[in-house]
Amino acid sequence: MRKLSKADEAKFKQLFGDMLSIKSQHDELINSLDKDVQALISKFNLENDKLFSQMKEQYESIADQLKAFSSDKAQEMDAYISDRTDKWHDSDAGFTYRDWQEEWQDMSDEFAEAACVDFDIEINFHRLPEIEEPRFKP
């Protein structure tokens, strides 16, 4: 096929136009909802700003304490592992203990991330993707 027929081009353009019209309506509805929700979130944040600040401060403090605790325990476990024999290291008990120590180290990393968590409320709406019309001639 060298090119699309005029009838095929017209049919495609009609269907594509219909699809773009629906997308436009969808976007308008989502934009309206987004605007309303953002206003509601702003109002909510203003009304609860002091409480959120207190909660965030407490949450970060507890996360820091848990990070330090789990890091200390992981280091103690590491010291215990270092004192074991090669035979113990190669045993099921050694593998199990190292897995346990890694869990505690991972927890320390998770608590470090938790200490930096953002307490802001955010809602994102999915919009239909943009689609470009193709060329009708090579």
How does pLDDT run across 66-123, given as a tens digit for each residue? 999 999 999 999 999 999 999 999 999 999 999 999 999 999 999 999 988 888 888 9
Look at residue 3 in the predicted model and tell me its pLDDT: 82
User: Which pLDDT score, from 0 to 100, does residue 13 have?
Assistant: 95
Please provide the average confidence, as pLDDT, over all residues in the chain.
93
pTM here is 0.65
pLDDT of res. 4: 87
1 in a structural domain? no
Mean pLDDT score, 40-48: 93
Is residue 126 included in any domain, yes or no? no
In a domain, 91, yes or no: yes
The verdict on residue 80 lying in a domain is: yes
Range of the domain at 84: 6-114
| Token output for 97 | 């203990």
Let me know if residue 11 belongs to a domain: yes
Residues 6+ apart with CB under 8 A from 114: 59, 63, 66, 67
Residue 133 in any domain: the answer is no
Q: Are 102 and 73 in contact (CB under 8 A)?
A: no
